[in-house]
Chain A
Amino acid sequence: MNPVIEVKNLKKYFTTPRGMLHAVDDVTFTIEKGRTLGVVGESGCGKSTLGRTIIHLHESTEGQILLNGKDVTNLKGKDLRQAREKMQIIFQDPYSSLDPRKTIDSTIREPLIVSRRFTKSQIDQKTQELMDLVGIDERLRKAYPHELDGGRRQRVGIARALALEPEFVVCDEPVSALDVSIQAQVLNLLKKLQKEKGLTYMFVTHDMSVVRHISDDICVMYLGQVVEKCSSKELFKTPLHPYTRALLSAIPSTDIDKPNKREILRGEITSPVNPKPGCRFAARCPYAKEECLKQQKQEEISPGHFVTCCRLQEISSSYN
C-alpha cells in the first residue's frame, strides 16, 4: 500500500535581497497511514517551511511530493483544490490563527462552505459534529476568539482542519504557545483523533519531550538539512549525529538524581543565506574536519536509522 505522504529531494529557496535563502534543502521521507513523523529542530531550521511547502502554502523549488502515491507537486486549479482538501494544517499561535472578526461557528463551517459540496443542513450537522469531536461546548458557538483561552482556540483550529476529512495533517508547533496543563489536553485530543480517524500527522516542534511522546518516527533538522531520521525510541536511546546528541543533552531533565553530562555547543546558528556546500553544522561541531565541508550524503547506518555525517565511524567510537 502506498505511504500517505512521500517526499523526495524536496527543496524550497527564498530569494532575499541578501541572496538565496536555503530554507528546505533536499529533504526525503515517507509517512505511513496512521503514523506520526516528528520533525524537530531549532528556530530557523526550516521545519515550518517544510510543512507549509508540502501542503502548497509555499510553492516548492525542486523535488517531488506524493499523496497516496499520486504526484501533487505541480498541481494547479481544480486538482490542487482536491489535493489540498486531503492535506490540512494546524497552526502554532492560537491568537493569530483564528480570524478575530468571525465567530467560532463560522470559522469551523467556512471550509465546508468553500468546498461547495454540502447543502446548508449538511453543513450545520457536520459543524455540530466537529465541535463535539474536539470538545467545544454548544454555548461557545456564537463566541468570538478573544473570549476563549489558548487551549480552546487550538481546538477550534483542529476542528477547522478536520472539516474536510483530510488524510494528512501538518501540526506546526500546535502546543508550544500553551501552558503545560492545557498542552496535555490538546496532545491527548490529537492522539485520540489519530486513532479514531486514522489520520497521518507531521508534527513540527522544538520541544523534544513533546516530540518523543507523540511521534512514531523522528526527523532532526538543522538549517534546512535533515541530519538524522529514525524511530523515536531509537533516537533517544542511541542518538548518532553530533547535533542530535548536543540537542538531547541540552534539555534540562526533570530527573534530579541523574545530573546529565553536558555537550555545550559553541557559537551561534550560521546564516541560511547562500550557505557553503557540505555539512552546515560544521561551524559548531566539536568533531568537524576538512571533509565535512564536502557534499554530505545520507546513509542508512542501521535499518530505518538514517544519518548525514561523513565522519560518523570515527566519532561513534568516542561516544561510549
Chain B
Amino acid sequence: MHQKEINTDMPFLSIKDLKVEYKSDGQIVHAVNDVSLQLERGKTLGLVGETGAGKTTIAKSILRILPDVGSHIANGEIYLEGENLLKLSETDMRKIRGNKVSMIFQDPMTALNPVLRVGDQIAEVVSLHSDSNNRAEHEKRAKEMLEIVGIPAERYYAYPHQFSGGMKQRVVIAIALACNPDLLLADEPTTALDVTIQAQVLDLIAELRNKYNTAMLLITHDMGVVAQVCDTVAVIYAGRIIEYGTKQQIFKHPSHPYTIGLFGAIPDMNEDEEWLHPIDGLPPDPTNLPQGCSFAPRCKFATDACWKEPISMNKTQDGHDCRCCRIEAVMKGED
C-alpha cells in the first residue's frame, strides 16, 4: 500500500479548485467550477445558494458518491486531515464514508429504505465500521442513538412508513452520527420540515455537533438557518463561490451584488417595507455559462469588464473574500 502523503499544516478540510461536470442529453453541465473552501475542526461552514448552484454536488464529491452515470470530477483536490480523498482507493474511501465523514439528506420521506427496519438501518453503519462483529452490540448502539435523537428505543423494530417526516429525519441524523464522524455534511436537513419541527431538528443537530465537536458543512438556501447555526459562510452562484467570510462579515456588510440581492429579496421579519428588491432576470443555465462573471446578466453594476474574462476571487486580509471587480462601486452604490 503506497505511503499516504499527509501534510499536517493544512486546515481540517480543504477543497482546492474542485470542478465537476455532468453529461446530460448530449450537453455538458458545469455543476461546480473551481471551488476552493476550508473548514476547521469543530467549526460549521454554511454553503448558501439557490437551486442548481451546485451545493449538493460539492457535498457528494467530498464523499465521492456522485451518481457514476454521466458525472465526473474534472479536477481539483479534497484534503481531509491532509489526505487527498480523491486519490484514495475505493476500499479506503469506504472506510471513511459513514465513519469519518457522513451525510444527512434533504428529503426524509425517501432517505430511508422503505422495506428495512429503522433500527437495522442504523445498526448497519455501526457494524460496517466497528471491528467486532457481534450483532447484539451493534443493536445496542443503534438503540442508544435512537434515544439520543429523541426516539424511544422500542421503535427500533418499526418501518420508515410508520414515522412522521420529523421522526424520519431524526433517524437519518442517528445514522449519520452513529460512528462519531469528524465531518458532517448536512444537505438542507430541515427544508422539507414544518417550522416547529425544523426548530427541534436544528437544535438537535447543533447540540450533537457541539457535544462531539463535529465539523459541519451545512447546505441551505435559508439565511435564517445560516444565522442560527453557522460560523463561516460561503455564497455560491452557478457553481462558483462568489463570497466567503465569517457570519458577522457576510450578514453585517455583504459586498457581492448577488449576496446583497439575496438579503434584499428576503422579506424581513421586523421592518415593514412596501416593495421587496428582487434580483431581476433568470437563474443561470449551467449548460452555457457566460464567459465572464456568471452573475453579470442580472447585475446592476455590471460593466463590460465583468463580461470579458472570468473574475478572480479578491481576498482581503481579514478573510472576507469576494469575487467581484467593482467592489468599491457596489459599496458606493449601496450607501
Contacts and interface: CB of A to CB of B under 8 A. Distances in A.
A and B touch in the complex (CB under 8 A): yes
Given A188-B276, A209-B267, A255-B227, A264 B199 contact: yes
Given A179-B50, A185-B280, A208-B195, A255 B270 contact: yes
A250 B267 contact: no
Nearest to A186: B278
Contacts of B223: 254
B180 to A, nearest CB: 25
A66 interface: no
A256 B247 contact: yes
A253 B224 contact: yes
Contact of B195 (A188, A236, A250): A250
Given A183-B265, A252-B202, A43 B272 contact: no
Given A42-B196, A188-B276, A212 B227 contact: no
B277 interface: yes
A210 B267 contact: yes
Contacts of A253: 224, 227-228, 269-270
Interface string B270-314: 101001111110110000000000000000000000000000000
Nearest to B166: A268
Nearest to B49: A179
Given A181-B262, A185-B280, A191-B275, A250 B199 contact: yes
B267 A187 contact: yes
A7 interface: no
Chain A, interface size: which category? 35 or more
B164 to A, nearest CB: 5
Contacts of B199: 249-250, 252, 262, 264
Contacts of A149: 282-283
B248 A256 contact: yes
A123 interface: no
B221 interface: yes
A188 B275 CA distance: 6
A210 B195 CA distance: 13
A233 B270 CA distance: 10
Interface in A203-252: 206, 208-210, 212-214, 233, 236, 246-247, 249-252
B268 A254 contact: yes
Given A180-B50, A184-B278, A209 B266 contact: yes
Contacts of A187: 267, 276, 278
B167 A182 contact: no
Nearest to B164: A268
Interface of A: 42-43, 149, 151, 179-185, 187-188, 191, 206, 208-210, 212-214, 233, 236, 246-247, 249-256, 262, 264-265, 268-269
20 contacts: A42-B194, A149-B283, A179-B221, A180-B265, A181-B262, A187-B276, A188-B275, A191-B275, A206-B195, A246-B196, A249-B199, A251-B224, A253-B224, A254-B251, A254-B263, A256-B227, A256-B247, A264-B196, A264-B203, A268-B164
